Structure 1
Amino acid sequence: MNGHATGTFDITNWTDLTTEEKAGATFGRNHIAKTFHGDLVGTSTTEILTIVTPEGPAAYVGVEHFEGTLHGRKGTFALQHSAASHNGEQWMKWQIVPTSGTGELAGLTGEGTIRAEDGHHYLLDYTLPDA
């Protein structure tokens, strides 16, 4: 079954774990907790590695563990993040880690985007084996 999920999420906790200043950039590691609304309902924890330069461009990579429901199907899965910004443009992408789905989300694959305007909005295109 192919699906399309949309909605929003709230960042409920952001903890800076480490920060290191290097020539031309600041590197960081952060732990984030989120609550999802819409077609995804549940919570997640995320670990990200960030880089910020004095000129403003920034990027991050990370992994996220989601627990909840996707269109009413209960389970867990992991997401891989990549994001960057430059010249006022920002892109944030995520991909479901293959074979990470459990419960009714076993076999889940897909990818999507995040938009951070007036809150955090997600889009996830996915494939899930028929039950």
Structure 2
Amino acid sequence: MVVHGSFDITLQPLEPAFAGQDGVQLGRMSFEKTFHGELSAQSRGEMLSARTAVEGAAAYVAIEQVSGSLSGQTGSFLLQHFGTRSSSHSRLTLEVVPHSGSGELSGLAGQMVIRIEGGQHYYDFDYTLD
């Protein structure tokens, strides 16, 4: 099953646990999202990021807990983010953490793609529910 929609995000910078070296900038943020569409939910999470001394080269990881309804089924689940970027290539993976689904979302598995168009955030969520 694939569902599509939009989401709003609020980012809050946090103090990194340690400073970067050799031109590396480290960052840490908490975030909250509101998902609209077939995924009608709220989420909270935390992100770690790094930018290298090379323009455009960066990476981030994040964990967020999503609570609400997915195609009418209610519960919560975790998403794990893994993203890298260089001047010529970007990769972003968001996966449902295995066995993290609760309530009617128990058994949820899948991947989410995030798009940003005209300043608005969109998601495409390809999932299965056993």
TM-score (norm 1): 0.88
Q: Which amino acid aligns with 1:124?
A: F
Structure 1 residue corresponding to 2:13, chosen from 9, 12, 16: 16
Q: Which amino acid aligns with 2:103?
A: G
- Residues 91-131 of structure 1: per-residue CA shift (max 9 Å, x gap): 322000111001110110111211122211111111102xx
Superposition CA RMSD, Å: 1.4
- Measured in 1, the distance between the counterparts of 2:69 and 2:44 equals 15
Gaps of 5+ in 2: none
Per-residue deviation, 1:72: 1.1
Is the deviation greater in 21-30 or in 99-108?
21-30
* Other-structure match for 2:76: 76
Gaps of 5+ in 1: none
* Matched residue count: 126
CA contact (8 A) 1:92 1:115 kept: no
Per-residue deviation, 1:58: 1.5
Equivalent positions of 1:53-72 (< 5 A) are 53-54=52-53, 55-72=55-72
Matched, 1:4 2:5: no
TM-score (norm 2): 0.89
Q: Which amino acid aligns with 1:18?
A: E
* Other-structure match for 2:125: 124
